[in-house]
Structure 1
């Protein structure tokens, strides 16, 4: 009885120097650098070098065959015990599951919030969203729970994501408004034009309209929000939002919170983006923090 390989990291058939996440049914867009070297199986005492090399080579062939959708069955002594080809992802699963980046949740972890320790903030996990799992970008903290086949290029897409990052390379005198505008442009390019691995899941971005620009209080700090509605060559297009504000910890570096949301009936409501931003808190805080509609002091 045949079955698909289990979810895990496998060599990317389109980029040999990287690995891509296989979700058990199809390739996703998640990727990471491939390990520098494959671990060799232990040798029995007295085994010759020629046999060890043959075993290692067999392991490489097996991994490559899985990626290509073909399983090669090799006998225990390193010789060919028969070859069986299966098309697509329906080949037999590998002997052991490949490593994944998911970690078991801590028993004390708050399921209702996700934490960005570096920037000293937490974000709410609202209904229709979940903590990010099996994503290649460590900045992504929240996603919508289900994937769908991208309308144009290979891979799987999500209806929404929320990511946080420290703003770097800030020019002297740069305003929060200017930084948010640049960040939302960068975010739109990655989400709806050309992604980090050079694919165009929506056939490219064809235009955008600014639908919101305003000062905003985030986690008790004055910041600025910019939201675009983008159109694409394929698919429904969507909304991209960036909010830039100072962190309340350390050197108080500027933080950008990026949100993307497809303009689709299958997506959560647009109001969720306001709810998530309004619910941002400093690490350790239990309430307050300000948000959409909160009063703020002067800001650039």
Structure 2
């Protein structure tokens, strides 16, 4: 039985509350005090366990010189197509509760409605530019999505609804690795599988991945921190395939845990320009410095 609608701890940001509409998570988030449904013992939220108590308080943002510019050419040449095995099927569950809850209200802690040109990732302490043709996520099943292209279409493979572009931001929490180079290289395969091989319920919206080819990789400065990115061109059994990029860099808040930003762009005329990946990456800023002009600061060191 599907859990009833209500406010629950956000699986991608446990210090926030997120609205469950009875079938899926919505874009509504809030840090305000509202009745919160507590998960049953052992219950999971999506693919990540969350604690029952929601932490309150402001996030201390490091004051640094910001910006994102490429630090030279790629140190990885283009590679040949590589056969890719399908990833295992992953499933998720919503929250469990039986009490009533109020209807969702506009979020005060999600992406800022006051600045239509950016979206805000409170958990990782960054803002990302919202380019023309991109919107804040609505009715998206994937975790940690911060923006999508406007509109949907019928997937060319298994039945379902697809989007031509996604940008996902998440904290690396299940690895002791801190090197942006290593993390980006490890993550890009998972990013490709999640985007173009199997979805969360085991369907193959593009018929599965047939091959991939690395098209670009190298160092990049993101929000004043040294990062690293890897970009693949993915060939699928159905449809035009797409481009997937994993961008890794240290967070500017808290313990400076590594952050991964994933870019998923359909190829072909209907997909967003691949140059948007670079434009979004260059526009990433710390939350308290979103209006600055950016630029590479002296605090940037080499990525490992």
TM-score, length-normalised on structure 1? 0.65
- Report which of the two structures shows the higher radius of gyration computed on alpha carbons: 1
- Cα deviation digits, residues 219-260 of structure 1 (max 9, x gap): 010000100000000011000001000011111111000010
Pick from 250, 258, 265: which aligns with 2:269? 265
Pick from 235, 241, 245: which aligns with 2:239? 235
Provide the secondary structure at the position in 2 that maps to 1:299: coil
In 2 relative to 1, CA 143–108 (structure 1 residues): closer, same or farther, beyond 3 Å? closer
More helix by share: 1
Residues 1:158 and 2:163 aligned together: yes
Provide the secondary structure at the position in 2 that maps to 1:284: helix
Distance 1:197 1:289 in 2: 40
Q: Which residue of 1 aligns with 2:122?
A: 117
Q: Which residue of 2 aligns with 1:33?
A: 94
Q: Which residue of 2 aligns with 1:222?
A: 226
Distance 1:165 1:290 in 2: 24
In 2 relative to 1, CA 248–200 (structure 1 residues): closer, same or farther, beyond 3 Å? same
Provide the secondary structure at the position in 2 that maps to 1:185: helix
Distance 1:240 1:295 in 2: 29
The CA deviation at 1:212 is 0.8
Q: Which residue of 2 aligns with 1:57?
A: none
Provide the secondary structure at the position in 2 that maps to 1:181: helix
Higher RCO structure (Cα 8 Å, ≥6 apart): 2
Pick from 282, 287, 297: which aligns with 2:286? 282
> 1:8-157 maps to which residues of 2 (within 5 A)?
19=23, 33=94, 36-37=97-98, 104=106, 109-157=114-162
Tell me the matched-pair count: 215
TM-score, length-normalised on structure 2? 0.64
Distance 1:100 1:235 in 2: 39
Checking the alignment, whether the CA contact within 8 Å between 1:212 and 1:226 is kept in structure 2 is: yes
The CA deviation at 1:129 is 0.7
Q: CA RMSD in A?
A: 3.0
Pick from 200, 210, 217: which aligns with 1:196? 200
Distance 2:218 2:98 in 1: 50
The CA deviation at 1:274 is 0.5
